[in-house]
Structure 1
Amino acid sequence: MQKTLIVLIVILSSNLIQAQFIKEKSINAQIGYGVSVPFNSVDEIADSGFFAQAELVLKATSWVEFRPYAGFILTNSDGKDLNDNPTDEKAETKAFLLGGKARVRAPIPWVAPYIEIGIGTSIGKFETLTAFDNIDKSGIIFHVPFSFGLELGKNNNVDLGFAYYFHPSVEQATGAFAVGITFPLDN
């Protein structure tokens, strides 16, 4: 199943690149503050870390884009909850992210809101330890990416947003507050 998902994403990405309905191509590079949280927790915890991602932006229309992506997220527990109390609960992630998303955006100069969703795979190590879950898993799992934010600037080439990756098989979600820059590719 997981190998099939990876092959499907690669095939779809390569076919979209050759598709004639793609009007523009560009690269979006994002960096941000990463966070991972468990689905079920007694203590309010959010383990923090680092997030980086690159996307191939395939603009179909002024309001629809397809975005194959590759990224990385690293979060670690500091042994404290959000109220700075000690806790044993944690949701740590060290993973490479790969997948594809579709973005719907309002084609407004200077400030264009957007929302996106897709499917992808995470390759790495995941640890979720709560009163309800004790999961320590390494390998390949699927995730569902969901993002929203604003494209800023005259040409909407600065991206400011929140990116979330839901990992149901390890009972946690990772995410980031990220800033990105889009660089157009020559046709």
Structure 2
Amino acid sequence: MKSTLRSFIILVFIAFFSNQIKAQTKGKFIKAVIGFGSSTSNYEEENPEIIDGSGFYTHAEYVLGITRWFSVRPYAGGIFTSTDEDKIKNPEGYKVETNAFLLGTKVRLCAPIPWVAPFIETGIGASIGSFETFTNYVMEKKNGVVAHIPIGFGLAVGPKNNIELGVSFYGNLSTEQSFGGFTAGYTFALD
């Protein structure tokens, strides 16, 4: 067990500090993302098929590539979801909806694999808008600014790793819902 852990630590050290890593480029970039947005309650519901929201998700990032495997990413975006009225088949009017603008900063770790580079990212930010969660367990409507924690993962593909497919998730710290998107994006070099 100790030799496996030691081997893993050595492998991670080599991967992260090698000068031959090609997964992410150093420099400054703009990344544009568009995708399918989704909102869900933070509680497990009896009938989760009814209690969700879907819609549109987008964001843009100013990418500061510090090293080939690490970058800082201030972002701005928006998510606009609503509950499909055809799905609501109950008199209670259960729904989960989000209409908000997003601001914050993320950091990304990107694996050193040419052409297909997996990544994971997290950070801190704020959501500005309206958040409605009406379910069996929660009856909340909030307008204003709430803190969120973004978590994302996906693949950066192509010879320059400038095309991305991923999932972005935002956990709100003061509302009873989470939201995110299934995304596709493109990165433009500024240098």
Where structure 1 has 5 or more consecutive residues not aligned to the other structure, the ranges are: 1-21
CA offsets 1:19-47 (integer angstroms, 9 cap, x no match): xxx94000000000000000113320321
Q: What amino acid is aligned across from residue 62 of structure 1 in structure 2?
A: R
Query: Are residues 85 and 93 of structure 1, via their aligned partners in 2, closer, same or farther at CA, if it must alter by over 3 Å?
Result: closer
Question: How many angstroms apart in 1 are the aligned matches of 2:175 and 2:125?
Answer: 15
Q: Which moved more, 1:33-42 or 1:141-150?
A: 33-42
Unaligned runs of at least 5 residues, structure 2: 1-24
For 2:35, which of 24, 32, 38 is the aligned residue? Answer: 32
Q: The residue matched to 1:169 in structure 2 has which SS?
A: coil
Aligned partner of 1:172 in structure 2 is 177
CA distance, structure 2, for counterparts of residue 23 and residue 172 of structure 1: 36
Number of residue pairs the alignment of both structures matches: 162
* 1:43 equivalent in structure 2: 47
In the superposition, the TM-score normalised over structure 1's length comes to 0.83
Residues 42 and 130 in structure 1, CA contact (< 8 A), matched pair in contact too: no
How far the C-alpha of 1:107 sits from its partner, in A, is 2.3
2:189 is aligned, of 175, 184, 187, to 184
Instruction: Report the counterpart of residue 146 of structure 2 in structure 1.
Output: 141
- Give 1:52 shift: 0.6
Amino acid in the other structure paired with 1:37: T
Deviation at 1:168, TM superposition (A): 2.8
Question: Post-superposition shift, 1:85?
Answer: 6.5
Q: Which residue of 2 aligns with 1:3?
A: none
Larger Rg: 2
Structure 1 position 90, deviation (Å): 1.4
Supply the RMSD in Å over aligned alpha carbons.
1.5
Deviation at 1:133, TM superposition (A): 0.7
Letter in structure 2 aligned against 1:99: G
Matched, 1:118 2:108: no
Q: Distance in 1 between matches of 2:113 and 2:26?
A: 17
**Aligned counterpart in structure 2 of residue 55 of structure 1, from 58, 61, 64:** 61
8 Å CA contact 1:57, 1:66 repeated in 2: yes
Give runs of ≥4 in structure 1 deviating > 6 Å.
none
Secondary structure at the counterpart of residue 174 of structure 2: helix
Q: Is the Cα–Cα contact under 8 Å of residues 88 and 94 in structure 2 kept in the other structure?
A: no
Return the offset for 1:175: 0.8
1:75 equivalent among 73, 77, 81:
81
Residue 170 of structure 1: how far off its partner (Å): 1.1
